[in-house]
Structure 1
Amino acid sequence: MADRKSENKAVYDAPENPIPAFGTPEKRPPRNKFAFACAILASMTSILLGYDIGVMSGAVIFIQDDLKISDKEVEILVGILNLYCLVGSFAAGRTSDWIGRRYTIVFAAVFFFLGSLMMGLAPNYAFLMVARFVAGIGVGYGAMIAPVYTAEISPASSRGFLASFPEVFINAGILLGYVSNYAFSKLPEHLSWRLMLGVGVIPSVFFAFVVLTMPESPRWLVMHGRLGDAKRVLDRTSDSKAEAELRLADIKRAAGIPENCTDDVVPVLKRSHGEGVWRDLILRPTPAVRRVLIAAVGIHFFQQSSGIDAVVLYSPRIFEKAGIKKKSDLLLATVAVGFTKTAFILVATFLLDRIGRRPLLLSSVAGMILSLAGLGFSLTIIDHAGDKKLMWAIALCISTVLSFVASFSIGMGPIAGVYSSEIFPLRLRAQGMSIGIAMNRVTSGVISMSFISLYKAITIGGAFFLFSGIASVAWVFFYTFLPETRGKTLEEMEALFTDFKWRSSFKRNSNKEDTSNGQVQMG
């Protein structure tokens, strides 16, 4: 075991301390360009989810006026896609174990193509809801499979960077949706929202074809006994030959294949194709798997329950409450939200493998807590001011919306997908991610389908004070429950979660760092 640990340390250049010190210099291998390209292509599927979120926030303004629907019907229309995602998300786990991660991405693109086409041609509210169901299946497939594939294709040295790409493209999709809203807002009402929604067919066609240029996940290939194919993919996606060999040995061990087996194709147990997974994941999990599942479900729950979709989907209403009345101005203000989210998610991609998941996550949530409290305060002041315009309160409202989405995007946004995609054992990864994504989409659906009713019941300022309280609970959960995973191989995660004394581990490792730093200075 000691030799194995030393080998891992040498190959991955990963610090022994699971919670690294800020600013610790370390030599990093150059980015693997092939893995980088694969991660981009797979993650681009996430544009579908982002586009739907962004475009619906503006399109619903025109839909409500054109189809004469109530606020309750608006809530359902906006949020129901998140519940429809459950079908695609749960199906994606088994589908990806059956036909592969790559062809599952094709499924996502096909369903979203059909859904976007139907939404663009919808003659009434009922048909629009059916179209949302079809699109939701595609979004569920894409939301689950993109982070799984990206995590499995990535070398450990840049896994955080590459696995954050799905969230990057979700933000890019949101921005495209906002831009689409503004671009079509000048058209006649009955035509504008149909074009906004129908344009989604363009990226889905592109993804369905471009994904065929990607290799299959090496972990899926090993699960199906295709060791020769897996080795060729690992040789191209690893930082060195030694790392490729080590990754292959770790994956074979996780799949129950002897390490000394050198055949290109080997028979595999039927359970490697997905049988027995739900039993090991839900009914009779090991203590480590149970903790992994709680961590994954918890991070996805808090990501959405802290109110990000309330801000993104209903930003036109928030800005309207702040005093902006003209439709085109409301949509232009939402474009600023999209730019801010996209800019800060790009910053986050470069920090994940430098300072780690845990410090970035805790800093992000702290910023969200303060921003939500500030937003709740400003909206409460504006609400009580009546017809009187308070420019400082309006400025505070707009700035706290932007600071909230910036804080979310620099940590909570990308880390939820990165963290949950890397902590599950190989055989449980696809279905485990399905559960995490299901919690994410259910929570998002509840928030987005109840936000208007919530702020009517407790005021819009009170709603954001509530979200600030939830974010505070999230910070405590993350601090006490989530260990650092930076630099760890995917096969090392189960051992990491077996030792469950995170707080004592944090103090112990901090003392090690202090001692180590003192020795360096003395030397």
Structure 2
Amino acid sequence: METSTDSNTNTNRFVYITATIAALNGLLFGFDTGVISGALLYIKRTFELSPAMQEVVVSATLVGAILGAAVGGRLADRLGRRRLMITGAGVFFVGSLLMGLAPNVPWLVAGRFVVGVAIGVASMAGPLYISEIAPPKIRGSLVSLNQLAVTTGILLAYLVNYAFAGPGGWRWMLGAGVVPAMVLGVGMLFMPESPRWLIERGRNEDARSVLSRTRTDEQIERELRDIRRTEEVEEDGLSTLLQSWVRPALVVGVGLAVLQQITGINTVIYYAPTIFESTGFEASASILATVGVGLVNVTMTIVAVLLIDRVGRRPLLLVGLTGMTLALTGLAAAFVLPGLSGLVGWVAVGSLMLYVGFFAIGMGPVFWLLISEIYPLQVRGSAMGVVTVANWASNLAVSFTFLSLVGAVGQSGTFGLYAGLSVLALLFVYTKVPETKGRSLEAIEADLRDGSSGAYSDATAETVEDAN
């Protein structure tokens, strides 16, 4: 007979394998986010791009991501999470080929747009799927695997950039995305559908079969009962998002989506080599320096994964934003001082790495986790789509204006502005963002529906035992 320990081991193995495969959505997201930073140094020389056209090349993916997120939410509710991720992997594969073979700028921009559509889908589908299949006790760390995959993808992109550094190497940099796309597409063929989506479609036995691989019999019955109870009182459709009882969750999601971007993170990811060049590094050395940024990003995300189900979501956000504010202030100050290519240049590099590290333990993983937890079941995909659109639209606005903003107010003024916005984000988190550690998705929804303070203040008082 199979022992309890063996059963738990098999359950844990299934949960982690499923979450890891789904987290490859984050790897695609991170890879394309990071790879353009190194490729851009050579693309701008190949096609003699002005700063404005560089912004167009970078931002084309963001326009596609907005579209992908806009349609991805509804498709996740209609087609299912699993099929959507398989389709997204195929789209990313095609886009990567288009970029790698691009004979001119319009072709390159088109490839960037196609990849962007896939990233928009992946950025919301991965966390959504993992949150719905994970047991409550470890949901935070499992969903945060997606953000760990994002940072790993960024680091992988930096390594690929360094490996192919040189004239013409940008084609290999951009085309390398076909590999993780194939792994994700094939891997998801063997993964189950989200049990909550199956129940919503009346496929109760299929849902029970999936849950049986991650829960005990008692937990299965309790979870099925809770899901059915929330279904009985919900109204289907996007109109649910406009109801007063959902509004606090919508404010939290959209607020975090915008603040995550306008505090400047993707200016660092997209333009890190450009920033390093301004401190006196050569092109290849600038790309190598970004590997250090990537290592900090991955390391601190691992710290967040280990802590997020222990200390909670709010503490990580508050600590992360405080550190981001201080690091951005230091970065702004460094660019004011003379002799940037000397010691002060290294101060700028250190401040930038600290900024990335504090982002990686707070706003990076916690934002994506929270938006996968706080919305009603029947519109969870659509709600995440709305929030993800806000995130990508803010990303587009910041990335498209970064070089122009630097030209207008200088690097010191630009990073000083981001520091001020980080203070605004800190106040928003302190006053608006709930603690969801250890709570089932149904318990979070019930508190939201009741208008009680449980979901939107200190939710840690509820014992984890009942949520498991």
* TM bracket (short chain): over 0.9
Q: 1:185 to 1:359 in 2, by over 3 A?
A: same
> Which of these residues, 66, 71, 79, is aligned with residue 46 of structure 2?
66
- Within 5 A, what are the aligned runs for 1:318-467? 318-324=275-281, 326-381=282-337, 385=338, 388=339, 391-467=342-418
Match for residue 252 of structure 1 among 206, 221, 228: 228
Runs of 5+ consecutive residues of structure 1 not aligned to the other structure: 1-28, 258-270, 513-523
Cα displacement string for residues 36-81 of structure 1 (whole angstroms, at most 9, x for unaligned residues)? 1111111112111111111100101100000111000101211221
Residue equivalent to 1:243: 219
Aligned mate of 1:488, from 420, 439, 449: 439
Q: What do residues 326-358 of structure 1 show as CA deviations (whole Å, max 9, x unaligned)?
A: 111010001110111011101100101000001
Q: CA deviation at 1:170?
A: 0.8
User: Which residues of 2 match residues 151-162 of structure 1 at below 5 A?
Assistant: 151-162=131-142
> Which residues of 2 match residues 71-90 of structure 1 at below 5 A?
71-90=51-70
SS, match of residue 213 in structure 1: coil
The answer to whether the 8 Å contact 1:155/1:237 transfers is yes
For 1:469 and 1:392, how far apart are their aligned partners in 2?
26
Aligned position for 1:309: 266
Distance across 2 between alignment mates of 1:505 and 1:202: 43
Corresponding residue to 2:238 among 278, 297, 303 = 278
| Residues 55, 400 of structure 2: 8 Å contact kept | yes
TM norm structure 1? 0.83
- The residue that corresponds to 2:155 in the other structure is 175
Q: Could you tell me how far apart the structure 1 residues matched to 2:245 and 2:455 are?
A: 17
Residues 485-517 of structure 1 deviation map (CA, whole Å, 9 limit, x = unaligned): 0011101113333546699955x999x9xxxxx
Q: Report the AA paired with residue 370 of structure 2.
A: Y
Q: Which residue of 1 aligns with 2:117?
A: 137
Deviation at 1:237, TM superposition (A): 1.7
Q: 1:296 aligns with which of 253, 258, 264?
A: 253
Deviations 1:104-123 (A, max 9, x none): 00111011001000000000
Superposition TM-score, scaled by structure 2 size: 0.93
Q: Distance in 1 between matches of 2:435 and 2:402?
A: 34
Give the SS at the match of 1:459.
helix
Q: Please give the per-residue CA displacement for 1:93-138, whole angstroms capped at 9, x wherever unaligned.
A: 2222222110100111011001000000000101111111111111
In 2, the alpha carbon distance for the partners of 1:198 and 1:505 equals 46
Contact 2:33 2:270 in 1 (8 A): yes
**SS of residue in 1 equivalent to 2:438:** coil
Change in 2 beyond 3 A, CA 1:369/1:389: closer
Q: 1 CA distance for matches of 2:286 and 2:426? A: 32
1:112 is aligned to 2:96: no
Instruction: State whether residues 406 and 413 of structure 2, in contact with CA within 8 Å, keep that contact through their aligned partners in structure 1.
Output: yes
User: Are the structure 2 counterparts of residues 155 and 279 from structure 1 closer, same or farther at C-alpha, using a change threshold of 3 Å?
Assistant: same
Question: 1: CA distance between counterparts of 2:288 and 2:94?
Answer: 29
In structure 1, the partner of 2:207 is 230
Separation of aligned partners in 2, 1:177 and 1:166: 16
8 Å contact kept, 2:254–2:390: yes
1:179–1:335 contact (8 Å) kept in structure 2 = yes
RMSD: 2.2
Q: Is the 8 A contact 2:93 2:177 kept in 1?
A: yes
Q: What is the rounded CA distance, in whole Å, between the counterparts of 2:457 and 2:383 in structure 1?
A: 26
Paired residue type of 2:403: I
Equivalent pairs counted in the alignment come to 454
Secondary structure of the corresponding residue to residue 485 of structure 1: coil
Distance (Å, rounded) in 2 between the aligned partners of 1:449 and 1:227:
47
CA distance in 2, matches of 1:243, 1:455: 55
Q: Is the 8 A contact 2:447 2:455 kept in 1?
A: no
Residue identity opposite 1:221 in structure 2? L
Cα deviation per residue 1:160-183 (whole Å; 9 max; x = unaligned)?
000111111111111111111100
Could you give the per-residue CA deviations for residues 297-329 of structure 1, whole angstroms, max 9, x where no partner exists?
1111111111000111111121122221x1110
User: For the structure 1 residues 234 and 390, does the alpha-carbon distance in structure 2 shift closer, same or farther, using more than 3 Å as the test?
Assistant: same
* Counterpart secondary structure, 1:216: coil
Aligned-partner SS, 2:442: helix
* Contact persistence 1:101–1:149 (CA under 8 A): yes
**Is residue 2:175 matched to residue 1:198?**
yes
Q: Secondary structure at the match of 1:416?
A: helix
- Tell me: CA distance 1:346–1:156, structure 2 relative to 1, closer, same or farther (3 Å): same
| Amino acid paired to 1:315 | A
Tell me the residue number matched to 2:4.
none
Structure 2 gaps, min length 5: 1-7, 463-468
Partner residue in 2 for 1:12: none
The whole-number CA distance in structure 1 between the counterparts of 2:195 and 2:184 is 21
Instruction: Specify the code of the residue in structure 1 equivalent to 2:238.
Output: W
Secondary structure of 1:236 counterpart: coil
Larger radius of gyration: 1
Greater Cα shift, 40-49 or 400-409: 40-49
Aligned to 1:11: none
Indicate conservation of the 8 Å contact 1:46/1:146, yes or no: yes
| Alpha-carbon distance between aligned partners in 1 of 2:212 and 2:125, rounded to the nearest angstrom | 23
Tell me if structure 2 keeps the 8 A contact 1:321–1:379.
no
